[in-house]
């Protein structure tokens, strides 16, 4: 049979088109399969996070510390390593004690009370895939890089709970009476980091008319420490703080003397 130009073109183009179409179909279904596998993997990771939160939610209205043992027992090291940074970023109060280093084998929680509604909100965020970018972040790097902040803030919160919450305010003398042995409850380094906070938090705002600390105001201060609002006190240089305070007090004293002299001069003139 005589070959025509059309037949020759068909012989050349059909294999090419078949190869292109086959490659496109293969790539399409290959990408689809890969995406399905990734989605399956992420769904499994989300379920791990939800499992961890369900463990915590079981201790509703109790301290997070109560959930520590079950959290560390029911979750494997690999599971905790995958989700621990996400949990911390979403509000679960994971801490590294000042006298320890971060250990994935033994995760520690703060004394904050578990709120079931708050946990349900975190679960909803995870279920809606809003937090997928927070999985698989290296836990050691994350917690060790924030170690100083976490440790000092933990000391500040300990001071609020163990000292301010147990102190008494005298409205007549305008003085706060602290537990007698509170200083001995802190290490030297801890005490040094508390000196500015100790002076700045000496306020009647935290106490009611009977002189007792108001629980809601104590909780608010703990929340503010978590947010970093007291970092200037916790990380500030005490010597510079005292120097600035002396200058301010001296300036106020000079100003008061000047005002007194002006008032005395006016009184003399009026007489």
Q: Give domain status of residue 165, yes or no.
A: yes
Note whether 184 and 229 are same-domain residues.
yes
Answer yes or no: do 141 and 157 share one domain.
no
Last residue of a domain, one of 110, 145, 180: 145
Q: Domain tally for the chain?
A: 2
Q: Tell whether 154 and 133 lie within a shared domain.
A: no
**pLDDT, position 218:** 94
Domain containing residue 76:
5-145
User: Does residue 267 fall inside a structural domain?
Assistant: no
Give yes or no: residues 160 and 138 share one domain: no
Instruction: Evaluate whether residue 68 is within a structural domain.
Output: yes
Output the pTM of the full model. Answer: 0.58
Does 131 share its domain with 188?
A: no
- 236: pLDDT strictly greater than 80: yes
Same structural domain, 140 and 159: no
Residue 271 maps to a domain: no
Same domain, yes or no: 119 and 157: no
pLDDT tens digits, 108-162: 998 889 999 999 999 999 999 988 999 989 998 888 877 778 788 889 999 999 9
Whether the pLDDT of residue 209 is over 50: the answer is yes
Contact indicator for 233, 224 with CB cutoff of 8 Å = no
Check whether residue 200 and residue 235 sit in a common domain. Answer: yes
The answer to whether residue 270 sits within a structural domain is no
| Per-residue model confidence as pLDDT tens digits over 180-207 | 999 999 999 899 999 999 999 988 999 9
Confidence of residue 1 (pLDDT cuts 50, 70, 90): very low
Judgement on whether residues 137 and 37 belong to the same structural domain of the protein:
yes
Q: Are residues 106 and 233 in the same domain?
A: no
Same domain, 249 and 217: yes
The highest-confidence range among 52-56, 101-105, 173-177, by mean pLDDT, is 52-56
Query: Does any domain span residue 268?
Result: no
State residue 226's pLDDT score. Answer: 84
One domain, residues 32 and 154:
no
Of 96, 118, 145, which marks where a domain is finished?
145
pLDDT in tens, 42-95: 999 999 999 999 999 999 999 999 999 999 999 999 999 999 999 999 999 998
Q: Which of 145, 174, 200 is the last residue of a domain?
A: 145
Residue 269 lies in a domain: no
Task: Decide if 66 is inside a domain.
Answer: yes
Three-class SS state of 57: helix
Would you say residue 13 has pLDDT above 50? yes
């Amino acid at each position: 049979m005589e070959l025509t130009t059309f037949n020759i073109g068909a012989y050349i183009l059909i294999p090419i088109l078949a190869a292109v179409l086959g490659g496109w179909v293969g790539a399409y279904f290959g990408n689809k399969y890969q995406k399905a596998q990734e989605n399956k993997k992420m769904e499994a990771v989300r379920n791990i996070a939800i499992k961890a939160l369900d463990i915590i939610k079981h201790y509703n209205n109790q301290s997070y510390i109560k959930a520590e043992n079950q959290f560390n027992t029911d979750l494997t090291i690999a599971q905790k390593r995958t989700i621990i940074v996400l949990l911390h970023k979403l509000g679960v109060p994971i801490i590294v004690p000042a006298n320890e280093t971060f250990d994935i084998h033994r995760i520690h929680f703060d004394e904050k009370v578990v709120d079931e509604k708050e946990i349900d909100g975190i679960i909803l965020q995870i279920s809606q895939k809003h937090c997928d970018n927070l999985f698989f972040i290296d836990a050691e790097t994350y917690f060790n890089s924030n170690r100083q902040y976490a440790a000092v803030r933990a000391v500040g919160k300990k001071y609020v709970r163990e000292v301010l919450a147990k102190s008494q305010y005298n409205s007549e003398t305008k003085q706060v009476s602290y537990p007698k042995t509170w200083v001995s409850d802190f290490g030297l380094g801890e005490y040094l980091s508390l000196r500015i906070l100790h002076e700045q938090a000496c306020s009647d705002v935290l106490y009611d008319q009977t002189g007792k600390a108001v629980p809601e105001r104590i909780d608010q201060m703990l929340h503010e420490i978590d947010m970093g609002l007291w970092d200037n006190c916790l990380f500030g240089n005490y010597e510079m703080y005292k120097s600035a305070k002396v200058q301010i007090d001296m300036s106020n004293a000079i100003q008061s003397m000047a005002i007194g002299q002006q008032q005395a001069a006016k009184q003399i003139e009026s007489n």
